[in-house]
Homo-oligomer: A and B are copies of this chain.
Amino acid sequence: MTIQYDKKNLLQKEIKHIDIATFNSVPLIESFGQMSFQSRNLANACKIYDTMLQDKDCTIILSLAGSLFSAGLKKIVHELITNNMVDIIVSTGAIIVDMDFFEALGFKHYIGSPFVNDDELRRLHIDRIYDTFIDEDELRICDHAIKKIADSLEARPFSSREFINEMGRYLDKHGCKVDDSVVYAAYQDQVPIFVPAFSDCSAGFGLLDHQRQHPKNHVAIDSASDFRELIDIVLKSKDTGIVMMGGGVPKNFVQDAVLGGEITDEGELRDPTRMHKYAIQITLAGEYDGALSGSTLKEASSWGKVDQNSEQMVYSEATIAMPLLASYAYHKGNWKKRKPKKLNLLFK
């Protein structure tokens, strides 16, 4: 197989986002539940997520890490928002800015290959994510849109949630080029999106330029406010459930959020009994290196983060497991009785 190193040729076949309405994974998952290993774990995770959707007292937090949206999983999260299947999102910056906002500006991800000459890609301004290609020149335009948003705001610290809400407003004003933007749907439905390491993505480049141009008075992104705001929501929720795609900072952040009620000024425990009532994670990270990404949810229960009664790790790559999980919950239909929580309104 010889690859033609021509930009137009390489950026031809667009990634298409999978639509969970078009296939029903319920029969498959029900069979998986009577098998072994990861198929049964996945079935169990599906059931736990469906239980969260039936539990009226449960606020559902979705954490996202890994290159999920460039891989075709964006529309799933869009559906989860518009169908009230998720109440809060915590994500890496790349997913929200480089992938979702980027596509909302009208740009695309392309089917590529891992077996290429990266020096040639570099020469053509094509960025590679494993087997997926991006036009780097378009990414620079995305960076610049972030700068323009920052330029338009008051010079003060923002939580990432506030700033991402402004990104939604920007799309509202300038036109959102796609009908499955997560940033825009969250803006419209008042769903909070937190990105605890907000400068670690395309947004960082936009804010860099903004701050360089306004060295004294500029927008800042206060990650401490992110934590405070998330904890405020958690404390106001009777119960919480977490659905984790991948690990990283988003996993740690949502797990920690349940502990925020515990500390007092004197360092005493305030409410040691609060834990996430439900917790599922899909990941390929093993537990063997002691890192957080692959740490088990049983380990998390030693920290008081997660209740052991309803937790499930699924060891699978997300592009295969997430569509099955979301399709199951969608076709079970228990989300239909859920009301939108519109949690962004808490901060108005």
Once A23-B31, A285-B285 are accepted as A-B contacts, the answer to whether A290 and B132 lie under 8 Å apart by CB is yes
Pick the contact of A199: B31, B114, B213, B224 (CB < 8 A). B224
Pick the contact of A208: B211, B220, B260 (CB < 8 A). B260
- A201-242: CB near B (< 8 Å → 1, else 0) gives 100110111111100000111111111100100000000000
Q: A309 contacts the other chain (Cβ, under 8 Å)?
A: yes
Once A36-B131, A66-B290, A252-B200 are accepted as A-B contacts, the answer to whether A299 and B118 lie under 8 Å apart by CB is yes
Write out the residue numbers on chain B whose beta carbons fall within 8 Å of the beta carbon of A321: 320
B196 x A72 contact (CB < 8 A):
no
Write out the residue numbers on chain B whose beta carbons fall within 8 Å of the beta carbon of A228: 207-208, 211-212
Q: A86 contacts the other chain (Cβ, under 8 Å)?
A: no
A227 x B209 contact (CB < 8 A):
no
A211 x B223 contact (CB < 8 A):
no
Write out the residue numbers on chain B whose beta carbons fall within 8 Å of the beta carbon of A66: 289-292
Pick the contact of A248: B94, B227, B293 (CB < 8 A). B293
Q: A316 contacts the other chain (Cβ, under 8 Å)?
A: yes
B220 x A317 contact (CB < 8 A):
no
Report the Cα distance A66→B328, complex, angstroms.
27
Report the Cα distance A315→B290, complex, angstroms.
11
Given known contacts A35-B73, A127-B302, A221-B223, what 11 new A-B pairs fall within 8 Å (CB)? Answer: A15-B34, A15-B35, A19-B31, A70-B290, A130-B295, A141-B267, A198-B224, A201-B252, A207-B224, A285-B285, A320-B320
